[in-house]
Structure 1
């Protein structure tokens, strides 16, 4: 209530009382009461002024705090480590019909630092979002720090369009866009290991659009440098292209699905595979030519009443087919060995995970590969590991994990790996911890 109104009301009451009463004593008592009321009013006005001042200071502090948070990046750290045990020597690992490159080798045996990350991300302003990711891993007993992601993304283009630019994971396939710490298994599917060296990222631009339809419908295209495996070489301008489409939706409150296809193309590349020791020197297979890859994927999720925290089931499938046309050279061979290459390689995996309790999850996975590579000199292709010699690489995996919260996970995994002719028993015990804020991953 306005204190000025209170003052006026009291004064009116006093004068009315004074006009009714004819006693001097009554008038004196009324005057005393009026003085007391005025003192109380002044005290209340003082308290009100102090309250306003405190509120103004608090409001200014809150405003500054909010503004500062807007411009300070969110920082998160992913701690990943594991213990690995193999029946065979991991250095003997190979996949007949597929010359491996990138980071396709097996993880080291024993205790090791896994794929840890430091992520800086935030909205730059109301138009752009930015993310910067450093990956920390151990290779050949050496600690390596790699710039994994450094991209911007538009927030307000309108009409469902988004542009991403910089270094990022390609939308080639479903799993490729998901960070390694968020995979359902410790290692990549065989087809990712064989074709992409585990995971494919590059520098470039992506344009995508989500159409305003009843179903989720997304189309996108990427123009990339073409300098990263499975492309390679010194490229001027755009060295590789990706086009993709995804469709998905829900039926009922407990079921959701998504299906997609993607296409990758690179011309005049120089893809360098991992070398092997021969006569004291490392002979490194180098493919020079054109390459294209087609991918299909499908994902289904079930959660009772849409509550994924209690229980859920996830089914996942991907298929890739790659064709290479060009020449193959064994670098460091003396005399220099070379052959034409007409390569055809494909593979798929299917997996299922089941969260049967709030803190427990289990899963199974099966992988299979196939290849039909031909050329002018089969001995050169055999030296490069591009002949299958009648072997069909395959692998079966099972895992169980304890998930106390969304920030921590302990996983035990077993692989029966028949990637090459000698079967291997592989066991992993892995921990993954997330410190700080971390954005949600895609469907």
Structure 2
């Protein structure tokens, strides 16, 4: 019986083993499935986290790039605020040294730029004998310059935003005589509200059209005769300027300036207050899609004390006030407002100057033969104008024509009227109408460089014609503010 029980138990164990093995297999399979599901869920979660991390990094980089671009754009826009207010919606022709995109690495440092210029001049007449007949001799930078190779005037400019309220600029001029002078050094407000802004320091006056522009932006190698005779090249002063840009669709700008008036046609004066005053008004607008214009009028009043010159070995001087009226007009055209390939600019300015005061003859002599000084009242009214057109006939290439003319006008010299001196005692003041014709061709490989060839015929004194050939280069280094309209 016992034996039978053992056999039955053995048989039961044998038949139970497949069932246990099957159960174990199912449990292992379930465990493996759970592990697989956990692994897949982990990998999916990890992938999702990595994707979110990548997106966050990309968004942060994009935001940083946008912030850098916005900061650079805002700083450049503020730096160019004065030029932008003078610019109409019509794009101007490409100018040498237009500003490239600004780097954020320079956001907290001044923008530094340099202008390198030079020329070769072939002149028929001796520049040492240069004079403009019929006009009181001007001071400042006048005449054609020296023969042969000339370094020209170079400039170094530093500009930056000072804080949310002010920006500043400093420009050094390096002359061919190895002298350095402060061309401009001023601060200006960034936005006082209502279209008002103020500038203080030393700056090129905003009168006329060309006066406020640095010479490297001019379309010809030299200043028109009217600028040389009536402003000594360019008028600048130490003082303050206030401008108002009207909140209108049309460009309307008004401004006033007060200064020390130490430069021609004024002279340094040892007195308090403003020795020069200026006012200007301008309007401008578009003419369709392809053209725009700007017209303006300016008035400058200066005072001079012993503003002298030498003639025929004698020294003479003028003391008194000078009122200079300037009217300017500029028209620009470019197909559909795009000046890249073709554009045309027509500009002109008219000057009328009145000197009222005292004229001294031979200042080294204490008095005339009658025991009185060689001094008397003087009044002179002179005028002048220029007109020029510049045509870009293909990308990078331009040609231009300019005509200048001056008129001696009417004058009264007491020493001559009362018979003390003869009419030709002041030879330079003998009536004459100086004139000059200039034609130029220039090539700009980029916005940073320009090569120019200019031919001119000048008749600034009777019986003398000066044929001039000028080859000029202008190169820009670093960032430079945008130019005015």
Could you say whether these structures have the same fold, taking a TM-score greater than 0.5 normalized by the shorter chain as the test? yes
The 1:64/1:312 distance shift into structure 2, 3 A limit, reads closer
Give the structure 2 partner of residue 109 of structure 1: 147
1:32 paired to 2:35: yes
SS at 2:125 equivalent: coil
* Count of aligned pairs: 414
SS at 1:143 equivalent: coil
SS at 1:377 equivalent: helix
Contact persistence 2:316–2:363 (CA under 8 A): no
1:350, CA displacement in angstroms?
A: 0.7
The 1:383/1:169 distance shift into structure 2, 3 A limit, reads farther
Distance in 1 (CA, whole Å) between partners of 2:465 and 2:316 is: 26
1:25-104 map, 5 Å: 25-37=28-40, 40=43, 69-98=106-135, 99-104=137-142
Unaligned runs of 5+ in 2: 1-24, 72-103, 368-373
TM-score (norm 2): 0.79
The 1:381/1:220 distance shift into structure 2, 3 A limit, reads farther
1:266, CA displacement in angstroms?
A: 2.4
1:286-305 map, 5 Å: 286-305=317-336
Give the structure 2 partner of residue 400 of structure 1: 441
Contact persistence 1:225–1:239 (CA under 8 A): yes
Give the structure 2 partner of residue 160 of structure 1: 195
Unaligned runs of 5+ in 1: 1-21
Report which of the two has the higher share of strand.
Answer: 1
Q: What whole-Å deviation, never above 9, does each CA across 1:48-103 have from its counterpart, x for those lacking one?
A: 79869978997999779967533211111111100011111011100112212111
Give the structure 1 partner of residue 181 of structure 2: 146
Higher mean displacement: 245-254 or 26-35: 26-35
SS at 1:410 equivalent: strand
SS at 2:175 equivalent: strand
Larger radius of gyration: 2
User: Of the two structures, which has the highest relative contact order with CA contacts closer than 8 Å and spacing of 6 or more?
Assistant: 2
The 1:158/1:391 distance shift into structure 2, 3 A limit, reads same
TM-score (norm 1): 0.86
SS at 1:374 equivalent: strand
SS at 1:27 equivalent: helix
Distance in 1 (CA, whole Å) between partners of 2:422 and 2:207 is: 30
Match for 1:317 among 328, 345, 348?
A: 348
Distance in 2 (CA, whole Å) between partners of 1:87 and 1:245 is: 41
Distance in 2 (CA, whole Å) between partners of 1:247 and 1:115 is: 32
What CA RMSD, in Å, does the superposition of the two structures yield over aligned residues? 2.8
Q: What whole-Å deviation, never above 9, does each CA across 1:210-269 have from its counterpart, x for those lacking one?
A: 1122321111111111112211122422111101100111111111011100111124x2
1:440, CA displacement in angstroms?
A: 1.2
Distance in 1 (CA, whole Å) between partners of 2:425 and 2:405 is: 23
Contact persistence 2:172–2:181 (CA under 8 A): yes
SS at 1:325 equivalent: strand
